[in-house]
Structures are given as structure tokens and as C-alpha cells.
């Protein structure tokens, strides 16, 4: 697959507070290598040359780790939608598929990224990476109508019927670059946290007459780490990845 027109935005501005570490979260190691390095290596190995990492104002460690790929600074943490929009100046001219990846999900495979790209090339403006965990717990639910993703419902807002759905949101997405920043520009912050949520992109895209869908990823592949316990679990998943 030719990925010369593909770009990626890696969200790496999170702090390591819950890890009880001074390191930025994405710099915490899995099998001896910073989490974010796995993502950069996978994306660049696919032939993707436009990789932009969103970092915090104190993100020099992350900036050095992802070099020579460029970084942009998110001066205030105003939500995931805002974080992605920070890359607008760097990627304003991109017309091909754009992958949006969290820097603490190191195990996503090139195969899954390729499937996301393929769906965008088929005509979907937004493609969400979903998964089907044994326990859906408090994950956001992906509401499908056939192949169409109609909305992402956060657990706290889900009806009892929606909570029975086991197709969940990983947070990672792909966009048609022609529409990405138009969609982001229409996301509001009328919510309790006054943040701009990337999940609202589905609703906005559909209001614009665009199509959205979701693909199914391996629940281990999309695992992320916010705590030391989750980091240890990622380590185990990494060691066992050939048996997924």
C-alpha cells in the first residue's frame, strides 16, 4: 500500500502523574523502549513521512524521542479534539488519510492502521478503531447501523440498552484529511469539563453529510497505560503478541 499521502497525529502531551513518575506518560518504557517510540517506528515503517506529535510545553523529552519528526505544543489541555487541532498549522495542506493515535497505545499494528487507511480511501470521512472486550465496563460504546457508525455514547450517558453493546471506543481514529480540520472546527465545548471532545467528530461529520464507520481491533492491541499496573499489563501483552 502506498502511504505517501498519509499523515499521522500522535497525542503525547499527557503527564505521568498517575504513573507516579516525572517522565511524560508516553516516555514510560515497555520492554525497554518508550511507549511512543513503538508508534513512531510502526508509522514510519509503513512509509508515513508526515508524523506530528502533540506535546506539552514541558515536552522536550518527547520532542527529542520523536525527532526528526515534527512536534507541536498544546499549551492548555482542553480535550482530545483541541489536542488534534493543535496540528492544524503543520498539516493544513494534507488531503489524504490522517491517523490519530494516542501515544500510550504502543501495540497497534501496521495491519490495523492499513485497514483504517483503506476504509478512508473507500469514502469514509471518519474511521474509529473499536474493540470488543470481555468486560465493556465503562468504555464508550460505538453505535452502529450496518456499516455506518452513527455515534459514540459515553458510558455515563448510555441507556441500559446501549450498555449491553460490547463494541467499544479505543479513542484512536482515522480521518479524511480534506475534512479533518473543518470537522474539528465545529466541535464545541458545551459540557461539564468545557473541553473539546474528539468523539464529537462522528456527530459533526454526519451533520456535514459525511460517512463514518468503525473497525474491530484486538483488545490487547489497543491497550493503553495510565497506571503502573496497566504498564505491567502492556509488558505482558507485548511478550505474548505472537499468540494474539
Rg, C-alpha atoms of the chain: 17
The catalytically annotated residue of 18, 138, 228, 241 is 18
86-95: which pairs have CB atoms within 8 A and are 24 or more residues apart?
Answer: 86/54, 87/9, 87/52, 87/54, 88/181, 88/184, 90/52, 91/7, 91/9, 91/50, 91/52, 91/177, 91/180, 91/181, 92/181, 94/5, 94/7, 94/50, 94/177, 94/180, 95/5, 95/177, 95/178
18 is catalytic: yes
Q: What is d(CA 61, CA 161) in angstroms, rounded to the nearest whole number?
A: 45
Residues 6 or more apart whose CB falls under 8 angstroms from that of 140 comprise 152, 153, 154, 155, 168, 169, 199
Q: What is d(CA 127, CA 141) in angstroms, rounded to the nearest whole number?
A: 14
User: Distance of CA 228 to CAs 17, 21, 30, 130, Å?
Assistant: 11, 10, 11, 24
Q: What is d(CA 36, CA 46) in angstroms, rounded to the nearest whole number?
A: 16
For the record, the C-alpha cell of 89 comes out as: 498549522
Q: What residues are annotated to the active site? A: 18
Amino acid at each position: 500500500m502506498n502511504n505517501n499521502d498519509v499523515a499521522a497525529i500522535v497525542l503525547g502531551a499527557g503527564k505521568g502523574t498517575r504513573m507516579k513518575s516525572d517522565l511524560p506518560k508516553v516516555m514510560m518504557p515497555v520492554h525497554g523502549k518508550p511507549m511512543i517510540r513503538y508508534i513512531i517506528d510502526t508509522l514510519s515503517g509503513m512509509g508515513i513521512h508526515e508524523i506530528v506529535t502533540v506535546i506539552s510545553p514541558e515536552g522536550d523529552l518527547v520532542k527529542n524521542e520523536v525527532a526528526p519528526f515534527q512536534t507541536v505544543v498544546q499549551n492548555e489541555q482542553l480535550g482530545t479534539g483541541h489536542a488534534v487541532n493543535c496540528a492544524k498549522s503543520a498539516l493544513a495542506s494534507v488531503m489524504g488519510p490522517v491517523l490519530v493515535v494516542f501515544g500510550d497505545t504502543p501495540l497497534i499494528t501496521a495491519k490495523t492502521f492499513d485497514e483504517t487507511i483503506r476504509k478512508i480511501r473507500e469514502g469514509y470521512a471518519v474511521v474509529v478503531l473499536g474493540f470488543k472486550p470481555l468486560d465493556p465496563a465503562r468504555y464508550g460504546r460505538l453505535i452502529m447501523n450496518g456499516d455506518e457508525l452513527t455515534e459514540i455514547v459515553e458510558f455515563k450517558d448510555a441507556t441500559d440498552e446501549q450498555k449491553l453493546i460490547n463494541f467499544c471506543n479505543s479513542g484512536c481514529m482515522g480521518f479524511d484529511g480534506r475534512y479533518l480540520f473543518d470537522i474539528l472546527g465545529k466541535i464545541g465545548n458545551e459540557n461539564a469539563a468545557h473541553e473539546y471532545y474528539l468523539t464529537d467528530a462522528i456527530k459533526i461529520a454526519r451533520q456535514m453529510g459525511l460517512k463514518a464507520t468503525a473497525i474491530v481491533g484486538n483488545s490487547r492491541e489497543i491497550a493503553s497505560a495510565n497506571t503502573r499496573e496497566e504498564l505491567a499489563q502492556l509488558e505482558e501483552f507485548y511478550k505474548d503478541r505472537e499468540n494474539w
